[in-house]
């Protein structure tokens, strides 16, 4: 795609996003009617162990954990801490006249989500991401846009970047009262739409990485779509099938065995250049995800800055020594620059540990990180996966093809409090 076409595409996406935000903004918080709240609960470590060992009594399970060297008292303390907080959230919503339903990750269906006026994940960022994946018109087969607001049940041990500030973990009643009265702000977060390309339009079986079990796909009634002639010719495919889960943070593609090299082909912004890379995986991030894995992959340390400055021919010159005295600040400013807004209509891809010797990458001008509007990926991997927000995994082996994009209408509507 020529540069001017790419620019037009970017401007169009920004205009569409602004239009979507404007339309949603007309839905004033003061007009928000809160009558039904869906509380999405996390699985505590203790509950996970119970699911793994259903044949054991409580006493047997606790003994097994002790034999493993687990601090059972701490596991039970954190379990009870979360459950107590969960009950407090339920009471807070009921006290303002809300009908409340509760759901776990295994029972979070399109029916119960369409029932709610607000979805309330209680736990950490993982529980929020799980809810966001399913608060999707593609998952629910509905155009209803249900807002999400998350509470951190254990702010001492969880950062909770996607959740309300930690103040509201101590004062959840205040948060619920403010939401009920419309005293909050809307925040729109871009999400990644994942479209599989092929010749038959089937969706591969997915796996819930948290529970290591197969996921029952709820998008069973949708049909694969024919690709238009241009796209079909460009990517050598006949059909497309949109996955039902939207990624709020990132989509990762790579070999399951981390020691094995991932061999991938990328086409950026539908250009005619096929970029070939061998690496430790590909991370495609949103603005929301830029504070997470995206930063972990690309961040530098003060030691990195110091090593770079020491490699300069004039490393002992006064101006270099002055920089070396501020390596912490330089690293911090660089890392802060990796972040971009949650409502940004662009994707940012990062090639993790790209091999840069011999013929790799091809072409040599291929950047290990860049902003794009769309990215097409073809796998030449042996035993790889495509993973949405570290939770839902699909096989992505040799010949598999996918297109990653952001659509303004897919943005997640969240509630924010100062």
What is the per-residue pLDDT across 66-80, written as a single tens digit (0 to 9) for each?
999 999 999 999 999
pLDDT at 139: 60
Q: Is the pLDDT of residue 215 over 80?
A: no
What is the arithmetic mean of pLDDT over 149-159?
Answer: 93
The more confident residue out of 110 and 6 is 110
Class of domain 27-183: alpha beta
Joined tokens for residue 84? 């107590």
Tokens 């928000």 identify what position? Answer: 32
Q: Is the pLDDT of residue 217 over 60?
A: no
Summary mean pLDDT of the chain: 90
pLDDT at 4: 46
Q: What percent of the chain has pLDDT over 90?
A: 75
- pTM over the 0.95 mark: no
pLDDT at 344: 97
pLDDT at 113: 84
Class of domain 193-297+339-410: mainly beta
Q: What percent of the chain has pLDDT over 70?
A: 89
Domain ranges of the chain: 27-183, 193-297+339-410, 299-337
What is the per-residue pLDDT across 73-124, written as a single tens digit (0 to 9) for each?
999 999 999 999 999 999 999 999 999 999 987 777 778 888 999 999 999 9
pLDDT at 222: 57
What is the arithmetic mean of pLDDT over 253-263?
Answer: 96
Band (137; pLDDT cuts 50, 70, 90): low
Q: Is the pLDDT of residue 143 over 70?
A: no
The upper half-sphere exposure of residue 346, i.e. CA atoms within 13 Å in the direction of its Cβ, equals 16
What is the per-residue pLDDT across 14-53, written as a single tens digit (0 to 9) for each?
555 555 555 544 578 988 999 999 999 998 999 989 988 9
């Amino acid at each position: 795609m020529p540069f001017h076409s790419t620019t037009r595409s970017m401007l169009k996406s920004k205009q569409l996003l602004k239009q979507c935000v404007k339309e949603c903004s007309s839905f004033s918080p003061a007009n928000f009617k809160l009558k039904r709240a869906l509380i999405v609960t996390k699985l505590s470590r203790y509950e996970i162990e119970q699911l793994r060992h259903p044949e054991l009594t409580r006493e047997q399970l606790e003994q097994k954990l002790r034999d493993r060297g687990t601090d059972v008292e701490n596991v039970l303390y954190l379990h009870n801490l979360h459950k107590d907080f969960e009950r407090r959230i339920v009471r807070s919503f009921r006290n303002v006249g809300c009908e409340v339903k509760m759901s776990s990750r295994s029972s979070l269906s399109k029916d119960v989500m369409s029932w709610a006026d607000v979805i309330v994940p209680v736990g950490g960022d993982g529980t929020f991401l799980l809810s966001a994946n399913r608060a999707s018109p593609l998952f629910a087969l509905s155009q209803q846009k249900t807002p999400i607001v998350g509470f951190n049940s254990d702010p001492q041990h969880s950062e909770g970047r996607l959740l309300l500030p930690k103040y509201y973990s101590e004062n959840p009643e205040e948060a619920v009262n403010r939401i009920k009265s419309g005293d909050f702000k809307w925040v729109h977060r871009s999400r990644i739409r994942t479209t599989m390309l092929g010749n038959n339009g089937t969706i591969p079986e997915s796996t819930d990485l948290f529970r290591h079990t197969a996921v029952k796909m709820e998008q069973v009634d949708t049909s694969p779509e024919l690709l238009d002639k241009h796209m079909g010719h460009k990517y050598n495919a006949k059909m497309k099938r949109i996955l039902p889960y939207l990624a709020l943070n990132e989509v990762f593609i790579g070999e399951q065995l981390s020691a094995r090299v991932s061999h991938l082909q990328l086409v950026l912004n539908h250009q005619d250049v096929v970029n070939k890379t061998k690496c430790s995986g590909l991370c495609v991030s949103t603005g929301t995800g830029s504070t997470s894995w995206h930063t972990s992959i690309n961040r530098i340390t003060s030691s990195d800055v110091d090593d770079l400055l020491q490699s300069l021919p004039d490393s002992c010159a006064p101006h270099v020594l002055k920089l070396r005295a501020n390596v912490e600040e330089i690293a911090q400013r660089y890392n802060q620059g990796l972040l971009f807004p949650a409502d940004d209509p662009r994707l940012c891809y990062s090639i993790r540990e790209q091999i840069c010797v011999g013929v790799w990458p091809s072409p040599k001008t291929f950047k290990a990180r860049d902003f794009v509007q769309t990215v097409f990926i073809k796998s030449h991997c042996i035993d790889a996966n495509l993973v949405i927000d570290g939770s839902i995994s699909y096989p992505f082996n040799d010949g598999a093809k996918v297109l990653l994009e952001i659509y303004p209408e897919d943005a997640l509507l969240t509630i924010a409090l100062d």
